[in-house]
Chain A
C-alpha cells in the first residue's frame, strides 16, 4: 500500500486517481498508523513552503516521515512536497524543510532571463543527470512533463537526477537512496508521468 500523506495542503484527488488507474493500492491519509504500515510514501503539496512546513510540524508528521525514511522506507516528494525534502527555503522568509536531502529552495526570479515568465508553467523536457535513476525506467530522456512552480532547489549535490531547461537547468528530479522527488506533477504529465509513478511504486502489491 502507498500512503499519500495528507497534511491539509493541496488537492490529492488526481494523484490518488492516477495511482489507482495504474492498479496500485493508494490511500490518502494523515493517520500515523497507516503511514507506518505503508510500503511507500508520497509527499504531495501545493502552495507556500512556510505554511506547508508548519503544517507538517504541527501534525507531527515531519518526525514520522523522517523516522520512516531512516528505517529505509521509500519516499517520493511531488512539487512542493519535493521542495520540502530539502534543508530550507527562502520563499517569503527562511523556513526549515525536512532536511532529508542536501540543498535549498530559492526563487527562479532573478536567476533566469527576465523575459521568461514566472511561474514556470507548462510542459518541459527532462535532461538526465543520472540516467540510471529508477524513476526513468520506462521513459526516455527528452520526454515532457508538466511543471507549475516559481521556486526550485539548488545545491542538491549528488541527489540531482534530472533538470529541465528554463533559462537555467531547473532541478526537475532528485533521487538519493530511498528518497525521490519530482518538481513537476507526474499525475498531470500524461503517460510519461504515469510511467514515473509506476516506476516509483513498482514492487508494491497491485
Chain B
C-alpha cells in the first residue's frame, strides 16, 4: 500500500534557504541544493521549495537554483510562491518541478486552477490554503496569512478540487508556530469534504505530533513541516522509524 509522506518545506529568498541550523555533513545549510540533498538522503518523500522573493531578479535566481536542485535530487519536487499565471507554472515546470502549489494567485483568480489543470493535469496542481478560525468559521487567509479573504475554507477547498486541484495543503494559522500539534479538527473537516490527497501543515512540534496525525486521521496522506526539520529538532529517519513502530506505513 501507499505510504504516508513526510515533506520538509524550504523557504527560499534570493536563492538562499531562509532558516536552518548546521547539520553534520552539510557544508552550507542555506544552500537549497545542499539542504535538499540532505533531506532526500535522510528519507524525505518529497520536497517543497517555497519562493518568498518579491523581486524579478530574485525570481530568476530561484528558477536557476531550482534547475540545479532538479538536476541533482531525484524525488518529487513541489514549487510554490508567486504563482499567478499559467506562464508561472510553465517557468517552474521547465526547471524540473513536478507539482506547483498555488495560494494567493488562485484566490485572486480561481480559473488559474482550471487553466493549469487542463494544461498539465490535475496531479500537477496543488492548492495550498492558509486557514484561521474567525468566530465559529474556518476562514481562508491570503498574502501569507495576513489578509482575511472572508471566504469560508471548506467551501473554497471543495471549489478548488472541482476546478482541478489534485492535492490540498492545509496550513492552519492557528496551530502554525505553536508546536502543539497539527490542527486535527480542521483537517478532519477537509478530509470529509474532498477525495484528493490532503497534506497537513502547521503545528508539528515533535515526532508525537506526526504519530497523532496519522493515527487519528488515517486518511491524511502527508505531513509537511519546516522549522522542526531545519532546526534539527526532529530528524526524518527518527520520525519514520517511530511512525513505523506505531504501525504507520512509511518508506524506510
Contact = CB atoms under 8 A, between A and B. Distances in A.
B122 interface: yes
A129 interface: no
B45 interface: yes
A135 B232 CA distance: 37
B251 A11 contact: no
A94 interface: no
Given A117-B195, A117-B221, A144-B251, A188 B2 contact: no
Given A117-B195, A119-B166, A121-B197, A188 B96 contact: no
Interface residues of A, number: 30
Contacts of A119: 122-123, 166
B72 interface: yes
B68 to A, nearest CB: 10
Nearest to A144: B251
A188 B70 contact: no
Contacts of A21: 71-72, 74
User: Dominant SS at the A interface?
Assistant: mixed
B90 to A, nearest CB: 10
Contacts of A202: none
A126 to B, nearest CB: 12
Interface in B76-106: 76, 93-96, 98
A193 B251 CA distance: 14
Among B76, B195, B197, residue most surrounded by chain A Cβ atoms (within 10 Å) = B76
B216 interface: no
Interface string B200-220: 000000000000000000000
User: Dominant SS at the B interface?
Assistant: loop
A154 interface: no
Interface stretch (A12-20, A31-39, A63-71, A99-107): A12-20
A122 B70 contact: no
A148 B166 CA distance: 11
B93 A121 contact: no
A186 B19 CA distance: 31
A166 B166 contact: no
- Interface pairs A-B: 8 shortest CB-CB: A17-B71, A144-B251, A122-B2, A13-B96, A123-B251, A123-B3, A148-B123, A124-B2
Interface of B: 1-3, 5, 40, 45, 67, 70-72, 74-76, 93-96, 98, 120-123, 166-167, 195-197, 221-222, 251
Given A21-B74, A122-B45, A189-B75, 12 more contacts: A13-B67, A14-B74, A14-B98, A21-B72, A46-B120, A119-B166, A120-B2, A121-B2, A122-B222, A144-B251, A165-B1, A188-B75
11 contacts: A13-B94, A46-B120, A47-B121, A117-B197, A120-B2, A121-B2, A121-B166, A121-B167, A122-B197, A166-B1, A188-B76
